[in-house]
């Protein structure tokens, strides 16, 4: 079953499970954005629009693009769109290969998407492509640490990957492939640190990378 088909089935019940479980973590991660006055924001994997509940109250971007692969999810996001006090455009598309122009956004939000897609490396590369120099990527997702045993999570990941999400994704190898990105924040948000809030900054032009990430 494809990712689009899977989340078409999940759409009617997605908010029931995810909204209460992730509300506070989403808000804490999105608070890193500030008001976004005059800035451009992309929410890749916007899903049913749960992030809009925080954004419409606290942020005023010049424009916001919300992209998702599933029309059923975007239909739910469309309902939340009505209350947004800023320009919001919802687009159906693949997070691994978006139709958006390079270097267009000051911030890119990746909430619960890297551990869902078949190729998380492609999504991170795409987010970096969309970002302006000096811009930031905000990530909220579940990751194992390198060499973390977690035998059950690694064992069930192939099965859960067919149904909704993976449980064996490691973030550090994904970041290692991107010399243009620096981790400036990495903090536990849920489930004893399995779910993390991560901020990546794209290096300004002609600036050498400085790694602020602490193990």
pLDDT at 214: 45
Q: What is the pTM of this model?
A: 0.89
Q: Write out pLDDT tens, residues 158-198.
A: 655 556 677 788 999 999 999 999 999 999 999 888 899 99
Residue 211 lies in a domain: no
Residue 196 lies in a domain: yes
- pLDDT (tens digit per residue) in 75-131: 999 999 988 999 999 999 999 999 999 999 999 999 999 999 999 999 999 999 999
Q: Lay out the sheet containing 40-44: strands in order across.
A: 88-92, 63-68, 40-44, 105-111, 131-142, 195-202, 181-190
Residue 36 domain-assigned (yes or no)? yes
Q: Is residue 214 part of a domain?
A: no
Establish if 30 belongs to a structural domain: yes
In a domain, 213, yes or no: no
In a domain, 208, yes or no: no
CATH number of the domain that residue 87 is part of: 3.40.50.150
* Residue 70 maps to a domain: yes
- The structural domain count of the chain equals 1
Asked if 183 and 212 touch (Cβ cutoff 8 Å), the reply is yes
Q: Which DSSP string corresponds to 9-63?
A: HHHHHHHHHHHHHHHHHHHHHHGGGTT-TT-EEEEET-TT-TTHHHHHHH---SE
* 4 band by pLDDT with thresholds 50, 70 and 90: confident
What pLDDT was estimated at residue 156? 59
Residue 33 lies in domain: 3-202
């Amino acid at each position: 079953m494809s990712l689009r088909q899977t989340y078409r089935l999940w759409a009617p019940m997605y908010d029931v499970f995810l909204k209460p479980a992730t509300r506070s973590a989403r808000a804490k991660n999105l608070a890193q954005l500030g008001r976004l006055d005059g800035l451009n924001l992309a929410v890749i994997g916007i899903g049913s629009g749960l992030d809009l509940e925080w954004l419409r109250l606290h942020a005023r971007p010049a424009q916001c693009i919300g992209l998702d692969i599933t029309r059923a999810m975007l239909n739910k996001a469309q309902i939340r769109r009505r209350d947004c006090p800023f320009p919001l455009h919802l687009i159906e598309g693949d997070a691994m290969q978006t139709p958006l122009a390079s270097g267009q956004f000051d911030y890119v939000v990746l909430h619960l998407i890297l551990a869902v897609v078949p190729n998380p490396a492609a999504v991170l590369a795409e987010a970096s492509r969309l970002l302006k120099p000096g811009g930031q990527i905000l990530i909220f997702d579940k990751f194992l640490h390198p060499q973390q045993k977690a035998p059950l999570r690694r064992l069930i990941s192939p099965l859960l990957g067919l149904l909704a999400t993976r449980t064996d994704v490691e973030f550090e190898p994904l970041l290692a492939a991107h010399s243009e990105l620096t981790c400036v924040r990495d903090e536990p948000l849920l489930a004893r640190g399995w779910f993390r809030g991560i901020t990546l900054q794209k290096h300004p032009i002609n600036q050498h990378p400085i790694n602020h990430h602490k193990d």
